[in-house]
Chains A and B, each alone.
Chain A
Amino acid sequence: MKILVCISNVPDTTTKVKFVESDTKLDTAGIQWVINPWDELSLTRALELKDDATAGVKSVTVAHVGPVTAEPTIRKALAIGADDAFRVNVEPADSYYVAAQLAEVIGREQYDLILCGIESSDYNGSMTGGMIAEFLGIPSVSAVSNIKIENGAPVVIRETDGGREVVSVPIPFVAIVQKGIAKEPRIASMRGIMTARTKPVRIYEPLAKEPLTRITVFEKPSPRAACKFIDPENPGQLIALLQNEAKVI
């Protein structure tokens, strides 16, 4: 089985996001770029499956749509343990555009299990995975919190509102994964970092395609009013405020 893990290149979670050019673009000065947290967990699970000889995973490939400045993030994924990668050499426009680019290569290179994180921490779109599946005309399962291989076939756990289901779907399919898919992201070993440099990264030029949406401006959330402190010896006052002022209880 060939597994593909789609990865997004995002600012580190603790970044204080700021915007420039009349708030139309992210200020990238000083940003630490990392693999999108859900994608990192997704990659970790793929590698755990590969480590299990009974699972029959032949390779784990990572895929990214982005310019050459994303290379370090791709190398990080290779250092963690992916076997190879491909990059579609273009700025990621919207999710539709990115999904179209990925689907084109995935269809050609033929993968059995495609993993996408449920969302990326920059756009919080929750769209790319489902879109890739629709472009390819293959099934998708979302809210996946676990993947196992049983008798050579993937079996997933899908979270539902107030429960979960054990689901099986024929390959090839897209699993859109979320919390639970791996406990901790795998860390690159020294050996991993060394070998990452020579692992193959295929570069493709993009398909001619138009995005369907575009962001025109960003806004920071309105500043919150300063916190009203209540005397710890008189917490009943808080309840009164919540009832009479906030009107939430």
Chain B
Amino acid sequence: MSVLVYTQNWDGKFKKSSFELVSYGSKVAEMLNTSLICLSIGTVSDEELKKLGNYGAGKVIRVDNEFCKILDNQVYTDIIAKAALKEEARVIIISNNTEGKAVAPRLSVRLKAGMASGVSKLPLSLDPFTVYKRTYSGNAFAHLVINTDIKIITLAQNSFSLIETPNNAGIEDMSVSIDSSLLKTVIKDTQKQTGRLLLTDAEIVVSGGRGMKSPDNWGPLVELAGVLGAATACSRPVSDEGWRSHEEHTGQTGKVIAPNLYIAVGISGATQHLAGVSSSKYIVAINTDKDAPIFEVAQYGIVGDALRVLPKLVEAVKELKK
């Protein structure tokens, strides 16, 4: 029996979210009095894999073959299923990120394993196995019972803190025999935006809405993000108008993020926008309208003109960092 955590890698490297996942898995394994095994797919060095041991992994399984060079949902599902069956995994934990959403549901049907997605706490109970997940776009949470022997949990991003439990993780290279006809995905072209901090990885986000009045006013906002080491985001009307790129649109139909700090500048706080940011640990709002709904969810607020406030905030952060 075991708890299996699938840790995605990005060009052979893990991210903070990978270690959060392992920390979570480590606690679940403790609750179930069983071992924690991590599964990695693709080319990842021994040194990088051993980092998973720092967060409680007892063993790391590496699968690397010609079929896993690109994400093919069926191939990855097949690999994770085979590893889970080999290790008699009772709980499989995957990140609720882009790749996790692509693969976990297939795995659920493949293993007839009940699945809960966007879970943000440790299981509330082991019998019946009950988890806590976000519903109604953050307006409610549900207690969900999973009735099957094998359970799949996808963990909401930034919902569980890192816990270091140093362990000397052994690495096992597992060879998985894959039917070559399973690989059907063909990638015809790739575009990557390198260098910039990904919105979904950022711990601090500075976001602008229609209250910024014009795309020409974004300078101080971008500067504030710069001094805070933050990513920039925007509300839907701003991306629809073409003031900022669609990559930055945060909200119900855009990106759903959960940073430690979300600074909303000139954003009124419409329901659809809040659905994208309600899991943020702290929300700061800057708006000229004291009745803007955003102030109902923000912990800190400034009723004022962003164009006057932002430069002063930039100065204050620079002072702090001296």
Note all chain A residues with C-beta closer than 8 A to B285. Answer: 227
B135→A213 contact, CB < 8 A: no
Q: Which of A161-189 contact B (CB under 8 A)?
A: 161-170, 173, 176, 178-180
Stretch in contact with the other chain, from B31-39, B61-69, B141-149: B141-149
Stretch in contact with the other chain, from B49-57, B85-93, B104-112: B104-112
B211 interface hit (Cβ, 8 Å):
no
B210 interface hit (Cβ, 8 Å):
no
Q: How far is the CA of A94 from the CA of B102 in the complex (A)?
A: 18
A179→B109 contact, CB < 8 A: no
B117→A124 contact, CB < 8 A: yes
B316 interface hit (Cβ, 8 Å):
yes
Note all chain B residues with C-beta closer than 8 A to A166. Answer: 187-190
Q: How far is the CA of A58 from the CA of B143 in the complex (A)?
A: 43
Q: How far is the CA of A4 from the CA of B296 in the complex (A)?
A: 41
A248→B204 contact, CB < 8 A: yes
Interface residues as binary, A201-244 with B (CB distance below 8 Å gives 1, 0 otherwise)? 00000000000111111111100110111111001101111110
CB distance from A63 to the nearest CB of B (A): 17
A235→B106 contact, CB < 8 A: no
Given A142-B102, A242-B300: A236 in contact with B116 (beta carbons within 8 A): no
Q: How far is the CA of A232 from the CA of B312 in the complex (A)?
A: 10
B252→A121 contact, CB < 8 A: yes
Q: Which of B246-301 contact A (CB under 8 A)?
A: 246, 249, 252-254, 260-261, 271-272, 275, 278, 281-282, 284-285, 295-301
B73 interface hit (Cβ, 8 Å):
yes
Across the interface, A126 reaches (CB within 8 A) one of B105, B145, B298, B316, namely B105
Note all chain A residues with C-beta closer than 8 A to B118. Answer: 124-126
Across the interface, B115 reaches (CB within 8 A) one of A160, A213, A246, namely A213
A128 interface hit (Cβ, 8 Å):
yes
Given A126-B105, A170-B184: A232 in contact with B204 (beta carbons within 8 A): no
Residue among B142, B184, B299, B305 with the most chain A CB within 10 A? B142
A155 interface hit (Cβ, 8 Å):
yes
A127 interface hit (Cβ, 8 Å):
yes
Interface residues as binary, A122-147 with B (CB distance below 8 Å gives 1, 0 otherwise)? 11111111110111000111110000
Q: How far is the CA of A180 from the CA of B213 in the complex (A)?
A: 24
B98→A130 contact, CB < 8 A: no
CB distance from B68 to the nearest CB of A (A): 15
B225 interface hit (Cβ, 8 Å):
no
Q: How would you classify the secondary structure of chain A's contact residues: helix, strand, loop or mixed?
A: mixed
B101 interface hit (Cβ, 8 Å):
yes
B316→A162 contact, CB < 8 A: no
Note all chain B residues with C-beta closer than 8 A to A159. Answer: 98
Note all chain A residues with C-beta closer than 8 A to B102. Answer: 130, 140-143, 176
A164→B317 contact, CB < 8 A: no
B1 interface hit (Cβ, 8 Å):
no
Q: How far is the CA of A249 from the CA of B296 in the complex (A)?
A: 22
CB distance from B127 to the nearest CB of A (A): 13
Q: How far is the CA of A170 from the CA of B185 in the complex (A)?
A: 8
A123→B193 contact, CB < 8 A: no
A95 interface hit (Cβ, 8 Å):
yes
Interface residues as binary, B138-163 with A (CB distance below 8 Å gives 1, 0 otherwise)? 11111111111000001000000000
B302→A230 contact, CB < 8 A: yes
Note all chain A residues with C-beta closer than 8 A to B2. Answer: none
Instruction: Tell me the nearest residue of chain B to A143, going by C-beta.
Output: B98
Q: Which of B75-132 contact A (CB under 8 A)?
A: 77, 96-98, 101-106, 108-110, 112-118, 130
Note all chain A residues with C-beta closer than 8 A to B198. Answer: 161-162
Note all chain A residues with C-beta closer than 8 A to B73. Answer: 130, 133, 139-142
Given A221-B138, A228-B299: A162 in contact with B246 (beta carbons within 8 A): no
A162→B192 contact, CB < 8 A: yes
B114→A161 contact, CB < 8 A: no
Note all chain B residues with C-beta closer than 8 A to A232. Answer: 302-305, 308-309
A224→B144 contact, CB < 8 A: no
Stretch in contact with the other chain, from A13-21, A47-55, A192-200: A13-21
CB distance from B67 to the nearest CB of A (A): 14
A221→B140 contact, CB < 8 A: yes
A167→B186 contact, CB < 8 A: yes
A111 interface hit (Cβ, 8 Å):
no
CB distance from A180 to the nearest CB of B (A): 7
Interface residues as binary, A42-64 with B (CB distance below 8 Å gives 1, 0 otherwise)? 00000000000000000000000
A118 interface hit (Cβ, 8 Å):
yes
17 A-B pairs with C-beta separation under 8 A: A96-B109, A125-B117, A126-B101, A130-B105, A131-B105, A159-B98, A161-B200, A163-B190, A165-B187, A167-B187, A170-B184, A179-B254, A216-B145, A228-B300, A240-B316, A241-B300, A248-B204
6 nearest A-B residue pairs (beta carbon): A232-B304, A130-B105, A212-B114, A142-B102, A236-B316, A134-B109
Q: Interface of A with B (CB < 8 Å)?
A: 11, 13-14, 16-17, 19, 37-38, 41, 94-96, 99, 118, 121-131, 133-135, 139-143, 155, 159-170, 173, 176, 178-180, 212-221, 224-225, 227-232, 235-236, 238-243, 246, 248-249
